[in-house]
């Protein structure tokens, strides 16, 4: 019975691929079967999450992750794994992340916060000040120093639920975190807190990095949970004279040496043409495990290596698997990789990143030369049996963006986005939130795309 079923699956797939090469269709079926039945990405993710955990660049955990992924890849392609040295941002969260309001009678109410990545800390005894609440980042434009001076700015802009792709909602109100401190400092703000960037309503604060510029005073930034933001908002409405106290001992140290981890299968016909597949190895340090962000992308990328090796697919072009370091608060690994590629005059024809969670794959973001993109789009029918339909969104990924200017088509795996920001940069981004099948389907989608590009390149219509 099961052999009959397998046959029918294979026939179905071969048929549905229409004008495509039947061999490609069968190989993509084998890739999916292998990933779903024998794939190891889920087990590797288990190790990275439960035995290593949060692994911000420069941390001991990041070193363990480098060592582990090196060993995994070296067990698949012995001798073809290397470390690429990179100086990374070395920010330390510290121990203190306290936030409370005090009313005129001295009653205190505590709120859960998380320091934002790269933020300066507060003075030892904290910052205590009145609060000005803004309903959006844009409201800053209508305020003067008289409104803000000596206060803590509380950005309470919620993620817009109406976007279908939740990343669009993130982009549309991300300024309250990225530019929160930098935006408020020129008006004399002492610190900022922002409503967590999530669609969920819960008590988990979501961290993430902020942008400072040298010309503007650096003030501390923290994120408050969405439930906390609602409570604080209500408390301020009832008593505008509340003061807020922030105590944070995070700090920036000097850059420190770390590594990208790179595994490779040399192309048989055009070894000089390189296809990068990668994710970022670093993950936030605020209690989560970096499961969806971006343990998932790392183990899926390593699975590509495993699939090619196990199915004995000999790629015509070079497949290079990269675990990028320091994406979260510096993108130093991605920059280093691109700089090095340019220096060595390497020819990267494509770079594929998985950094949007280990959920059911829905398609690919893409960017690059129009002719090359239209060539990729001819392969869409090969992906549809696996329910990848969305290939029209523009994008790639933070770590591979530097390769675009070198002529590579950049692509980002596009998984279902509805749950992503429930866990993103929060203590809830843990292994139990990942479904094995969804993760392995994403790995198969990466391997399938890498296979097609390696087989045909991107210069000729197949």
What are the residues binding its own copies (CB under 8 A)? 1-2, 5-6, 9, 32-33, 36-37, 136-138, 160-164, 166, 172, 199-200, 360, 362, 384-387, 389-390, 416, 418-419, 422, 435-438, 441
Closer residue to its own copies, CB minimum distance, 157 or 264: 157
Q: How far is the CB of 382 from its own copies (least distance, A)?
A: 13
Closer residue to its own copies, CB minimum distance, 75 or 435: 435
Give start and end residues of each alpha helix (H) in 222-295: 226-238
Is beta strand 347-353 parallel, antiparallel or unpaired with respect to 409-415?
A: parallel
Largest Cα separation within the chain, whole Å, is: 77
Residues whose CB is less than 8 angstroms from the CB of residue 289 and which lie 6 or more positions away in sequence, other chains included:
48, 49, 50, 52, 53, 54, 283, 295, 429, 430, 431
Q: How far is the CB of 418 from its own copies (least distance, A)?
A: 5
Q: How far is the CB of 416 from its own copies (least distance, A)?
A: 5
List, in sequence order, every beta strand (DSSP E) within 236-370: 243-248, 251-265, 270-280, 317-324, 347-353, 361-367
Closer residue to its own copies, CB minimum distance, 122 or 192: 192
Q: How far is the CB of 32 from its own copies (least distance, A)?
A: 7
Give start and end residues of each alpha helix (H) in 135-225: 145-148, 166-173, 175-178, 180-184
Q: How far is the CB of 72 from its own copies (least distance, A)?
A: 21
φ/ψ bin of 309: left (φ > 0), alpha (ψ from -120 to 50), beta (otherwise): alpha
What's phi and psi for 417, nearest 5 deg?
Answer: -105, 0
The HSE-up count of residue 8 (CA atoms within 13 Å, CB side) is: 5
Q: How far is the CB of 448 from its own copies (least distance, A)?
A: 13
Secondary structure letter of residue 56 according to DSSP: -
Closer residue to its own copies, CB minimum distance, 19 or 37: 37
Q: How far is the CB of 197 from its own copies (least distance, A)?
A: 15
Cα(72)–Cα(261) distance, rounded to whole angstroms? 11
Closer residue to its own copies, CB minimum distance, 216 or 387: 387
Cα(359)–Cα(420) distance, rounded to whole angstroms? 8
Closer residue to its own copies, CB minimum distance, 6 or 11: 6
The CA distances from residue 107 to 82, 100, 130, in Å, are: 57, 10, 15
Closer residue to its own copies, CB minimum distance, 176 or 275: 176
Cα(419)–Cα(179) distance, rounded to whole angstroms? 25
Element (H, E) at 88: strand 81-92
Residues whose CB is less than 8 angstroms from the CB of residue 42 and which lie 6 or more positions away in sequence, other chains included:
299, 434, 436, 439, 440
Closer residue to its own copies, CB minimum distance, 138 or 253: 138
Instruction: State the Cα torsion 399-402-407-411 to the nearest 10°.
Output: 20
Q: What number of H helices and E strands is found in the chain?
A: 16, 15
Closer residue to its own copies, CB minimum distance, 369 or 438: 438
Q: How far is the CB of 435 from its own copies (least distance, A)?
A: 5
Closer residue to its own copies, CB minimum distance, 111 or 383: 383
Q: How far is the CB of 1 from its own copies (least distance, A)?
A: 5
Q: How far is the CB of 3 from its own copies (least distance, A)?
A: 11
């Amino acid at each position: 019975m099961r052999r009959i079923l397998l046959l029918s699956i294979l026939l179905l797939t071969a048929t549905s691929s229409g004008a495509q090469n039947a061999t490609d269709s069968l190989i993509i079926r084998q890739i999916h079967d292998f990933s779903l039945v024998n794939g190891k990405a889920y087990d590797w993710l288990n190790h990275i999450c439960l035995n290593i955990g949060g692994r911000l660049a420069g941390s001991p955990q990041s070193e363990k992750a480098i060592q582990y992924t090196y060993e995994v890849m070296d067990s698949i392609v012995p001798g073809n794994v290397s470390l690429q040295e990179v100086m990374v941002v070395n920010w330390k969260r510290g121990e203190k992340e306290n936030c409370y309001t005090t009313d005129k009678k001295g009653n205190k109410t505590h709120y859960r916060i998380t320091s934002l990545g790269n933020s300066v800390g507060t003075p030892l005894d904290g910052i205590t000040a009145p609060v000005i609440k803004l309903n959006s980042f844009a409201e800053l434009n209508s305020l003067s120093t008289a409104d803000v001076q000596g206060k803590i700015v509380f950005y309470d802009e919620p993620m817009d639920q109406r976007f279908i792709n939740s990343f669009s909602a993130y982009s549309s109100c991300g300024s309250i975190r990225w530019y929160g401190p930098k935006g408020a400092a020129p008006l004399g703000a002492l610190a900022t807190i922002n409503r967590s960037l999530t669609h969920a309503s819960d008590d988990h604060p979501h961290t993430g990095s902020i942008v400072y510029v040298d010309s503007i005073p650096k003030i501390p930034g923290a994120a408050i949970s969405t439930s906390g933001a609602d409570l604080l908002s209500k408390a301020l409405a009832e008593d505008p004279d509340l003061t807020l106290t922030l105590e944070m001992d995070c700090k920036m140290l000097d850059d420190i040496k770390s590594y990208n981890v790179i595994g490779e299968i040399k192309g048989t016909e055009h070894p000089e043409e390189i296809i990068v597949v990668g994710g970022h190895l670093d993950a936030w340090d605020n209690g989560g495990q970096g499961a969806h962000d971006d343990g998932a992308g790392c183990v899926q990328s390593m699975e590509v290596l495993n699939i090619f090796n196990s199915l004995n697919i000999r790629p015509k072009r070079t497949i290079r698997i990269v675990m990028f370091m320091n994406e979260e608060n510096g993108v130093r690994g991605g920059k280093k990789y691109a700089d090095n590629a340019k220096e060595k005059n390497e020819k990267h024809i494509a770079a594929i990143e998985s950094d949007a969670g280990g959920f059911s794959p829905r398609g690919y973001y893409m960017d690059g030369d129009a002719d090359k993109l239209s060539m990729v789009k001819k392969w869409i029918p090969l992906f549809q049996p696996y329910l990848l339909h969305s290939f029209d969104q523009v994008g790639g990924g933070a770590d591979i963006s530097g390769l675009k200017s070198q002529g590579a088509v950049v692509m980002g795996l596009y998984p279902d986005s509805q749950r992503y920001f429930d866990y993103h940069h929060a203590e809830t981004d843990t292994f139990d939130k990942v479904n094995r099948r969804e993760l392995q389907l994403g790995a198969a989608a990466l391997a399938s795309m890498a296979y097609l590009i390696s087989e045909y390149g991107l210069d000729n219509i197949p």
